[in-house]
Chains A and B, each alone.
Chain A
Amino acid sequence: MAKKEITLNVNGKAYQVSVEPNEILLNVLRDKLFLTGSKYGCGIAECGACSILVDGKVQLSCMIPAIAAEGWNITTVEGLADKDGNLNPVQQAFIDRAAIQCGFCTPGMVVTGTSLLNQNPHPTEEEVKDYFRGNYCRCTGYTSIVEATLMAAEKMSK
Chain B
Amino acid sequence: MKNFAYREADSKDAILAALAELKDAYVIAGGTNVMLNILDKKVNDRTLVNLRNAKELRGIKDNGETITIGATTTISDLEHSELIAGEAKALWQAAVSFADPTTRHSATVGGNISNASPAADTATALMVLDAVVTIEKKGAKREVALTDFFKGVGKTVLAADEIVTAITFKKSHNCAFIKLGLRNAMAISVANVAVNLVKQGDVVKDIKIAMGSVAPTVRRCAEVEKALLGKKLEDAVIAEAVKGLDKDISPIDDIRATGKYRKQVAPVLVTRAIYAACGCKDGGAK
A residues at B contact (CB < 8 Å): 1-2, 4, 21-22, 24, 43-46, 48, 51, 54, 57-60, 62-65, 67-68, 112, 115-116, 130-131, 133-135
- B48, closest chain A residue (CB): A21
- B101, closest chain A residue (CB): A131
Q: Which of B2, B39, B106, B185 contacts A59 (CB 8 A)?
A: B106
Cβ-defined contact, A45 with B50, below 8 A: no
- A55, closest chain B residue (CB): B105
Whole-angstrom CA separation of A58 from B50 in the bound complex: 20
Cβ-defined contact, A43 with B103, below 8 A: no
Cβ-defined contact, B50 with A1, below 8 A: no
Whole-angstrom CA separation of A156 from B8 in the bound complex: 39
Identify which of residues 28-59 in chain B touch chain A, using a CB-to-CB cut-off of 8 Å. Answer: 28, 30-32, 35-36, 39, 48, 50, 52
Q: Which of A1, A51, A115 contacts B4 (CB 8 A)?
A: A1
Cβ-defined contact, A58 with B101, below 8 A: yes
**A133: chain B residues within 8 A (beta carbon):** 100-101, 185-186
B18: min CB distance to chain A, Å: 14
| Residue total for B at the interface (Cβ-Cβ under 8 A) | 27
B residues at A contact (CB < 8 Å): 1-6, 8, 28, 30-32, 35-36, 39, 48, 50, 52, 76, 99-103, 105-106, 185-186
**B31: chain A residues within 8 A (beta carbon):** 63-65, 68
**Known contacts A60-B103, A130-B185, A133-B186, A65 near B3 by CB under 8 Å:** no
A142: min CB distance to chain B, Å: 12
Cβ-defined contact, A59 with B6, below 8 A: no
* B2, B5, B50, B105 interface centre (most CB from chain A within 10 Å): B105
A21: min CB distance to chain B, Å: 4
Q: Which of A1, A22, A54, A65 contacts B105 (CB 8 A)?
A: A54
**A22: chain B residues within 8 A (beta carbon):** 1-4
**Known contacts A45-B103, A133-B186, A68 near B35 by CB under 8 Å:** no
Q: Which of A4, A21, A63, A112 contacts B32 (CB 8 A)?
A: A63
**B186: chain A residues within 8 A (beta carbon):** 46, 133-134
Whole-angstrom CA separation of A51 from B36 in the bound complex: 17
Whole-angstrom CA separation of A57 from B80 in the bound complex: 13
B150: min CB distance to chain A, Å: 24
Whole-angstrom CA separation of A68 from B10 in the bound complex: 11
**Known contacts A58-B102, A59-B106, A60-B102, A45 near B36 by CB under 8 Å:** yes
Cβ-defined contact, A57 with B105, below 8 A: yes
Whole-angstrom CA separation of A116 from B100 in the bound complex: 12
Whole-angstrom CA separation of A59 from B1 in the bound complex: 25
Cβ-defined contact, B101 with A134, below 8 A: yes
Cβ-defined contact, A21 with B101, below 8 A: no
- B52, closest chain A residue (CB): A68
- B30, closest chain A residue (CB): A63
